[in-house]
Amino acid sequence: DIQMTQSPSSLSASVGDRVTITCQARLDISNYLSWYQQKPGEAPKLLISDASNLETGVTSRFIGSGSGTHFTLTINGLRAEDVATYYCQQYDSLPYTFGQGTKLEIK
């Protein structure tokens, strides 16, 4: 199984800040990476696929980048509604695996 490691595990930032979450794959996964947002009490929501492809209806404040083994999710202009846990997921090979999550809070 391909291990995915996210950092940090949690972070606190102020409204308006730029936030960056990192996801590291143990093997080269090309660009076969997605990002999900999970708000408390809700199911995950797909934000980005193929490392940088923003899903329809998702705000352009979310930006995904990276390839190979190193990926980032950047949130520009942080808003209170962005409070959630964010997960990366690889789909280069089965079984699909997720990072452990990054919990984002507002200061």
Q: Are the beta carbons of 96 and 4 closer than 8 angstroms?
A: no
Q: Two tokens at 76?
A: 């520009």
What character string, x for contact with another protein (CB under 8 A) and - otherwise, covers 7-36? Answer: -------------------------x-x-x
* Stretch in the footprint of another protein (CB under 8 A) among 10-18, 43-51, 63-71, 75-83: 43-51
- Residue 40 class from Cβ within 10 Å (0-12 exposed, 13-18 middle, 19+ buried)? exposed
Give the number of other Cβ atoms within 10 Å of residue 41's Cβ.
5
Residues between 53 and 92 with contacts to another protein, criterion CB under 8 A: 55, 87, 89, 91
Among 44, 54, 61, 72, binds another protein (CB under 8 A): 44
Rounded Cα distance between 51 and 35, Å, is 8
- Interface residues with another protein (CB under 8 A) are 1, 32, 34, 36, 43-46, 49-50, 55, 87, 89, 91, 93-101
